[in-house]
Structure 1
Amino acid sequence: MKSNFNKLLVALGLIFVISFNQASAQTVKWDSTYRPGKYVEQVAKFKADAKSKKDYIFLGNSITAGTDWAKLLNLPQAKNRGISGDGTFGVLERLQDVIDGKPAKIFILIGINDVSRNIPDSVILGNYKKIVERIRKGSKKTQIYFNTLLPVNASFEKFKNHYGKDDHILWLNSEIRKLAAKKVTVIDLYPQFLDKDSHLKAELTKDGLHLIPDGYKVWADFLNASGYLK
């Protein structure tokens, strides 16, 4: 009897261990405290830059950081506030400096790095709404423009953490489009960069994630044609 009881305990223990390991494997860990290596340096640089209520702020990550917006758009008041590797938590952390300048317009493109770092979609969306609410509260006259996320192209095989997560991009973009109901101007960039296979057009990127000059030209032409810069 005692032997059978011990066997039962062992069996139950094995079931517990297996169940625990399966649950652990299904739990995706994520970190809201991560900041890219040059984050502090870049934030200090932005704070030192002169501010004007006529500024057009381009706020985001490396995709935003990858061009000279003033030159690209022929708009001296366009200011680049992109930080390579940044996510929604990083934007929230440095947002007050942008708000304090009370710029005329803020163009936001952020979230693909959150997706790559397995931050839940609902958390990313919550951060989008916090960004909008804080701008609305702190700079009432600032016009907010929220870009949909760009597609990626896994054929380049360079940013594997960003690939295979198209469903997340599509869901977040569907939620970004709903921000229009909050009097936010939604700039639907996603379709402008999409190829026939629903990937980022290979001729517009150097690595399946970041844009080349031809890609930024598509972006600039779309902004101009849609009247978002007036």
Structure 2
Amino acid sequence: MRSIICKLVFAFLIVGSGVAKSQTLQWDSTFRPTKYKEQVLKFKEDTIRKNNFVFLGNSITAGTDWGKLLNIDNAKQRGISGDITFGVLERLQDIIDSKPTKIFILIGINDVSRNIPDSIILDNYHKILKRIVKGSPKTKIYFNTLLPVNAAFEKFKNHYNKDQHILYLNEQIRKLKYKNLTIIDLYPQFLDENNHLKSAYTKDGLHLNNEGYEVWKNVIIKGKYLN
């Protein structure tokens, strides 16, 4: 695939100088994690069947065994560490063609970290949903809001101090309307008193620990999203 680097220019004011200058932010729609191709090949060997529940996303989704966590035997893991919405779109067709019973989606925080504009991320959300609805109309879709982050851990600096993007995207996710779509609002379930990812639920300020996955599990169970 031909690499396309997209540049956005924003004007900002340098404090004390009164001089407006421009800042160039680059984002690459063709970025794929190092093990993306390897993981996609493994997924192809792990065939999805119509009764399966697919968990689609990045490392946060990949960080647990959904079958064991939810005590079900029809879960299929489709999380790739570091993935972005463009990567999900690239590998989505295999999932659609399999016509699973349910798809649970959490994606976008790595897009934010890589300076992909909110409007582009949101447009990709719509593309993901439209393709699923068109290609597998009986599949039930569960789209999760993005989780908060916690900069106090100082491990994933590109993901920190971008709360306004997370808040905006979550606001837009809550407004999504498609056939067979349910929004799961994870974000408020993970907040501490300072509106950051609660330290008891994370091991590094971005990824969840066992306690964090238990919270996610309880949201799914209480919402009866497995029914």
TM-score after normalising by structure 2: 0.90
Q: Write out per-residue CA displacement over residues 126-156 of structure 1, whole angstroms, 9 at most, x where no aligned residue.
A: 0000000000111010001100000000000
Q: What's the counterpart of residue 146 of structure 1?
A: 143
For the residue of structure 2 that corresponds to 1:86, the secondary structure is coil
Q: What's the counterpart of residue 78 of structure 2?
A: 81
Task: Give the number of aligned pairs.
Answer: 207
Pair 1:38 & 2:29 matched: no
Distance, in Å, in 2 between the alignment partners of 1:150 and 1:189 is 6
- Any runs of at least 4 consecutive aligned residues in structure 1 with deviations exceeding 2 A, and if so which? none
Higher alpha-carbon deviation: 44-53 or 160-169: 44-53
Q: Write out per-residue CA displacement over residues 93-129 of structure 1, whole angstroms, 9 at most, x where no aligned residue.
A: 0000111110000000000000000000000000000
Distance, in Å, in 2 between the alignment partners of 1:226 and 1:34 is 35
Pairs within 5 Å for 1:17-32: 22-23=21-22, 25=23, 27-32=24-29
For the residue of structure 1 that corresponds to 2:172, the secondary structure is helix
Amino acid at match of 1:133: K
Q: How much does 1:48 deviate?
A: 1.1
Report if aligned partners of 2:32, 2:83 keep a CA contact under 8 Å in 1.
Answer: yes
Q: What's the counterpart of residue 67 of structure 1?
A: 64
For the residue of structure 1 that corresponds to 2:40, the secondary structure is helix
Amino acid at match of 1:97: D
Q: What's the counterpart of residue 55 of structure 1?
A: 52
Distance, in Å, in 2 between the alignment partners of 1:143 and 1:222 is 17
Pair 1:168 & 2:151 matched: no
TM-score after normalising by structure 1: 0.88
Q: How much does 1:204 deviate?
A: 0.5
Report if aligned partners of 2:50, 2:98 keep a CA contact under 8 Å in 1.
Answer: yes
Amino acid at match of 1:145: Y
Distance, in Å, in 2 between the alignment partners of 1:216 and 1:152 is 15
Distance, in Å, in 1 between the alignment partners of 2:210 and 2:55 is 17
Pair 1:109 & 2:103 matched: no
Amino acid at match of 2:21: Q
Report if aligned partners of 2:105, 2:144 keep a CA contact under 8 Å in 1.
Answer: yes
Q: What's the counterpart of residue 126 of structure 1?
A: 123
Distance, in Å, in 2 between the alignment partners of 1:182 and 1:132 is 7
Out of 88, 92, 97, the residue aligned to residue 100 of structure 1 is 97
Distance, in Å, in 2 between the alignment partners of 1:54 and 1:182 is 21
Q: Write out per-residue CA displacement over residues 61-105 of structure 1, whole angstroms, 9 at most, x where no aligned residue.
A: 000000000000011101110000000000000000111110000
Quick one: percent identity of the two aligned structures? 69
Amino acid at match of 1:42: Q
Q: Which runs of 5+ in 1 are unaligned?
A: 1-20
Q: How much does 1:22 deviate?
A: 3.0
Cα RMSD of the aligned pairs, angstroms, is 1.0
Out of 181, 185, 188, the residue aligned to residue 182 of structure 2 is 185
